[in-house]
Structure 1
Amino acid sequence: MLRAATLPLDEQPMDVRLMNGVASGVFVLAGAALLAAGVMWLVRAPQFTIRGVEIDGDMGRNSVNTIRANAMPRLRGNFFSLDLQQGRDAFEAVPWVRSAVVRRVWPDRLAVRLEEHRAAAVWQGEDGNDRLVNSFGEIFDANVGDVEDEGLPVFSGPDAEAAGVLAMFRRLGPLLAPLDAAVEELHLSHRGSWSVELDNGATLELGRGSEDEVIERAARFVRTLPEVTARWRAPLEYADLRHTDGYAVRLRGVTTKTIN
């Protein structure tokens, strides 16, 4: 019985090898075209259009309808073609939303988990526009009128120092509590000098230095101030803590006194 012999590739005639190569190339191109056509079909298929968004997480400042109305017009693509990072950006562009996690839910939905900003203070910008500082010390844009009734303190300073201003506020609050006064405004100058406005109308000039150095001066002031106000029987109006060996105070109705 005769069997057909198959020549090794390197022994086949040139025209045969050329035909085989062309045929392989045609098959590869045909496969790529089919794959591309399949991808295009998935991108355009109406059954994979995003038809719903499930929203979970923090929604104290926004309703589900408000979030959808703000974010949905920004979404581009269907279940397969939607860029999840762009979807995340769309939801994080909604006022009060700090972060969003977006994932696909087969076959035509998105699941979104939101974290909202928690306002810690009003930030007075150098451009004259008030913004807000969240509990992480991040400045964000929102309607300041939404927090007018919450009694938030007011901060100011270089934008890059917002987290440091919040940290200082959190240390000064408990420290000044024995004065029966709360921090109403906290300011940091470009030269690094701190000043405080208390809710009883008094002003404190805390000066420059590290956070610990400023806190140490403030603590010394708080320890000794009751003796001063008791002696003169007048409430505090102004104090300058920038002196190395003491501080100066002005009591209501009393001229400035230096305390060593």
Structure 2
Amino acid sequence: MRLTLPFLNKDAKKKTAKKGATKKSRIAAEGRRAARRRARARWMKPALKIGAPVAIAGALSAAGFVLWSNGTIQRTYDNAVAATMKTSAEMGLAVYQVSVSGRRETNKDRLLKAVGVRVGDPILAVDIQDILDRVNSIGWVESAVVERRLPDHLHIQIEERKAAAIWQKDHEFVLVDIDGNVIGTDGLERYRHLKVVVGDGAPDRTAELVSLLEREPMLNSRIVAAVWVAGRRWNLRLDNGIDIRLPEENPGDALQRLAQLERDHRLLARDIAAIDLRQSDRLIVRMTEEAAERKRAHKDET
């Protein structure tokens, strides 16, 4: 049996078509919204994967900053180091022997104070660089080496400066080496035979002075002091009180000329207060007051 649908008029057809189109539009819109939801879900997943660790790291960083700012991390570290050092000392890694080589003039007590360790201190906790800096600050020490010899031995090897002169400044006397480095007053009494240098900048000229005087050994043996004048030239003082004024230029030639006069005429044995050698073509001699008085008296008698 075949069924036949009733015939639809035109208005019914339009309504039916319009209704069908509306339904299709809704379905298409729903499809587009679903596609957008799927796309959003796809990019949100990696974002969540990245964002979660970043958030965790940020929280940990904030916590670490708080711990650091209130010193908790540093105290924990320091306590751990101290505990380790204590354990190492209990196991025998402690200072029980300190030896020194190369010491002749350096004061023993001052050196031990510079080393600054006590018997039983953990040897691994000893700061070698700090010891080296303190030892090198001692005037007599030119250079030093500090060695940690496990399990219980510290060794200090020093090379000392050689005293070359005594520097007088503001009525005080200190030893200096050939390069003008100040050694200090330790051992000063043993070096009274050295020449005294006077004046600002005189220590820096010590090597120059020594070289100059060594050219004339006879005069060198009699010179007790040298004054650096105005940063330009030397005045020399002999053991009998005579002052010798050297020129700024070619002081060695002037000193050689004086040495020849001494050999020929015994000039330095006379009643002379000062000899001026600053002019190359003449020699100016100033007599002592006593000699000048005798000369005046003799002139009056005649």
Per the TM superposition, whether the score is higher than 0.5 is: yes
Q: Percent identity?
A: 19
Query: In the TM superposition, what are the counterparts of 1:23-38 in structure 2 within 5 Å?
Result: none
Query: In the TM superposition, what are the counterparts of 1:34-73 in structure 2 within 5 Å?
Result: 40-44=79-83, 45-46=85-86, 47=88, 51-52=95-96, 54-62=98-106, 66-67=109-110, 69-73=112-116
Q: Is the 8 A contact 1:56 1:112 kept in 2?
A: yes
Q: Distance in 2 between matches of 1:42 and 1:143?
A: 40
The alpha carbon displacement at 1:123 in A equals: 0.8
Higher helix proportion: 2
Q: What secondary structure sits across from 1:170 in the alignment? A: helix
Higher strand proportion: 1
- Scaled by the length of structure 1, what TM-score is found? 0.68
Q: Is the 8 A contact 1:132 1:141 kept in 2?
A: yes
Q: Distance in 1 between matches of 2:230 and 2:50?
A: 77
Inter-CA distance 254–10: structure 2 relative to 1 (3 Å threshold): farther
Letter of the structure 2 residue corresponding to residue 216 of structure 1: D
The alpha carbon displacement at 1:245 in A equals: 1.4
Aligned residue number for residue 217 of structure 1: 254
Letter of the structure 2 residue corresponding to residue 122 of structure 1: I
Inter-CA distance 69–82: structure 2 relative to 1 (3 Å threshold): closer
Letter of the structure 1 residue corresponding to residue 258 of structure 2: F
Letter of the structure 1 residue corresponding to residue 80 of structure 2: W
For residue 195 of structure 1, the aligned residue among 231, 235, 239 is 235
- Scaled by the length of structure 2, what TM-score is found? 0.60
Q: Distance in 2 between matches of 1:233 and 1:168?
A: 21
Inter-CA distance 111–234: structure 2 relative to 1 (3 Å threshold): closer
Aligned residue number for residue 176 of structure 2: 133
Aligned residue number for residue 199 of structure 2: 157
Deviations 1:17-69 (A, max 9, x none): 44445667869x7xx99999566523452235862464433211246x53553
Q: What secondary structure sits across from 2:237 in the alignment? A: strand
Q: What secondary structure sits across from 1:174 in the alignment? A: coil
Q: Distance in 1 between matches of 2:56 and 2:186?
A: 66
Deviations 1:80-112 (A, max 9, x none): 555444222322344633332234344555332
The alpha carbon displacement at 1:254 in A equals: 6.3
Q: Is the 8 A contact 1:53 1:112 kept in 2?
A: no
Question: Where does the alignment leave 5 or more consecutive residues of structure 2 unmatched?
Answer: 1-42, 293-302
Inter-CA distance 78–146: structure 2 relative to 1 (3 Å threshold): farther
Inter-CA distance 154–205: structure 2 relative to 1 (3 Å threshold): same
Letter of the structure 2 residue corresponding to residue 222 of structure 1: A
Number of aligned residues: 234
Q: Distance in 1 between matches of 2:145 and 2:171?
A: 33
Aligned residue number for residue 3 of structure 1: none
Greater C-alpha radius of gyration: 2
Inter-CA distance 157–60: structure 2 relative to 1 (3 Å threshold): same
The alpha carbon displacement at 1:189 in A equals: 1.9
